Amino acid sequence: MEGVAVRGTQRSPMQLIPAGQGAAVPLARGQRIRVVNTHGTQVVDFWGFARVAPAEEYLSMEHCRELLQKIHFDVGDTLITNRYSPILTILADSTTAEHDTLIAACSRDMYRRLGRGEDHANCADNLDAALAGLRLWVPFTPSPWNLFMRAPVRDGRRIEYERPTCKPGDHVELRAEMDCVLVFSACADDVYPTNGGDGTPRDAHFQVLEA
Amino acid sequence: MEGVAVRGTQRSPMQLIPAGQGAAVPLARGQRIRVVNTHGTQVVDFWGFARVAPAEEYLSMEHCRELLQKIHFDVGDTLITNRYSPILTILADSTTAEHDTLIAACSRDMYRRLGRGEDHANCADNLDAALAGLRLWVPFTPSPWNLFMRAPVRDGRRIEYERPTCKPGDHVELRAEMDCVLVFSACADDVYPTNGGDGTPRDAHFQVLEA
């Protein structure tokens, strides 16, 4: 059977999420994907959208928190959209990162406020550009799932920003529960300690693992 | 001076947020408003929008959490929009409620999922209706500031839903930091314990306190 793709084990090539930039991929229901923290220091802002109506139905952190009754999600959890439809299940997680759900995507306005200029690369614009590459558009920036980002809540209220604890190659594995489009941004942040703490965004990767 | 409004002390009439319904009010920069938990048991879902561009700039829980580094906000805190502009300052708070920032507005889909029928009153629709009353529209439902709602985070991750601890007449007082439109919904929830726990949404009120 050499050279013949065997359903159940076939893998697409590893795909690049360039440092400080975005990428998007459509997934069919049942397909699995691995998101890889290639260098171990990189936050990957992550969004999911219903393929048929991305502007109307999307992975929603505030709905997931409501239903799952937790601020960080675990292997086995099924994440939902703003319409309460299952969109992704977490199949595996090699990290202890907890993956922040509380903090906004970085944006042009954030870097302007921080004195980093008018045109700093940012995850909000990366989302729009990645969707545009698939001829899609949404009228706002949903709150992202910040893969590999550590922003723990202390004393029931205080948010702390911490450096990443991932090892190179750490990854999460997800299964699509609906036909969807996933968007990744190798976070452009060079200010907060969460994104490595050395001011240098780095590449990340994803790989579609065929169902 | 009897009968003459004295600037600095003038108050508009107390205005009703009917049980399970919404209301909206435009505020000019500098105006103050009081939101009153008339019966002490009612959650009031709350949104703020920039008057000039409500679909583009709005009070954002995920941006406030980022900047303030906390999941609940305090007297003296200035809340911001998704563009990092100050929109409201918390001037006073007679409660110990903490005012949830984590949980989605209730919606038609939520009640459908819970078996409460296809047309249950809900905060997401109340937002749209209240904005429509001012000939405004936004293309999505921002994550609300859930006034008077207690959904504490335990052990740094688990969300618990608790009954309200407010007294009748408890209130928060806010100052507008930009020309804005505020929207209130006396939450229609009759399922979760957070909204009184007796399955009966109740009236709330607001009052504009002139600057």
Kindly list the residues from chain B whose CB atom is less than 8 angstroms away from the CB atom of residue A84.
109-110, 112-113
Pick among A70, A73, A145 to test the B interface (most B CBs inside 10 A): A70
pTM over 0.90: yes
Pick among A60, A69, A110 to test the B interface (most B CBs inside 10 A): A69
Q: B19-31 pLDDT, tens per residue? A: 999 999 999 999 9
Q: What is the pLDDT along chain A (211 residues), one digit of tens a residue?
A: 334 444 555 778 999 999 999 999 999 999 999 999 999 999 999 999 999 999 999 999 999 999 999 999 999 999 999 999 999 999 999 999 899 999 999 999 999 999 999 999 999 999 999 999 999 999 999 999 999 999 999 999 999 999 988 999 999 999 999 999 999 999 999 999 999 888 899 999 999 997 6
Per-residue b or e along B32-64, where b marks 16 or more CB atoms closer than 10 Å to that residue's CB:
bbbbbbbbbbbbbbbbbbbbeebeebbbbbbbb
Name the more confident of B97 and B80. Answer: B80
How far is A132 from chain B, CA to nearest CA, in Å?
18
Share of chain A above pLDDT 90, in %: 89
Q: Do A62 and B109 make contact, defined as CB atoms within 8 angstroms?
A: no
**Beta-carbon contacts below 8 Å between A and B:** 96
According to the model, what pLDDT value does residue A7 have? Answer: 52
Residues B141 and B148: beta-carbon distance below 8 Å: no
Q: Does A96 touch chain B (CB under 8 A)?
A: no
Kindly list the residues from chain B whose CB atom is less than 8 angstroms away from the CB atom of residue A65.
102-104, 159
- The residue among B104, B110, B109 whose CA lies nearest residue B62 is B104
- Of A71, A143, A159, Cβ closest to residue B69: A159
Q: What is the mean pLDDT of residues B160-176?
A: 95
The three-class DSSP label of residue B207 is: strand
State the DSSP H helix or E strand holding residue A129, giving kind and residue range, or none if neither: helix A123-132
Q: Does B161 touch chain A (CB under 8 A)?
A: yes
- Of B104, B113, B158, Cβ closest to residue A69: B158
- Of A60, A104, A157, Cβ closest to residue B70: A157
Q: What is the mean pLDDT of residues B5-15?
A: 70
State the DSSP H helix or E strand holding residue A201, giving kind and residue range, or none if neither: none
Q: Do B103 and A158 make contact, defined as CB atoms within 8 angstroms?
A: no
Strand B32-37, strand B22-27: pairing: unpaired
CA atoms within 13 A on the CB side of A87: 25
For residue A70, give the chain B residue with the closest CA. Answer: B158
Kindly list the residues from chain B whose CB atom is less than 8 angstroms away from the CB atom of residue A140.
139-140
Q: Do B153 and A158 make contact, defined as CB atoms within 8 angstroms?
A: no
Kindly list the residues from chain A whose CB atom is less than 8 angstroms away from the CB atom of residue B62.
61, 102-104, 143
**ipTM tops 0.90:** yes
The maximal CA–CA distance of chain B, rounded, in angstroms, is 58
How far is B54 from chain A, CA to nearest CA, in Å?
12
For residue B73, give the chain A residue with the closest CA. Answer: A157
Tokens at A176, concatenated: 């699509």
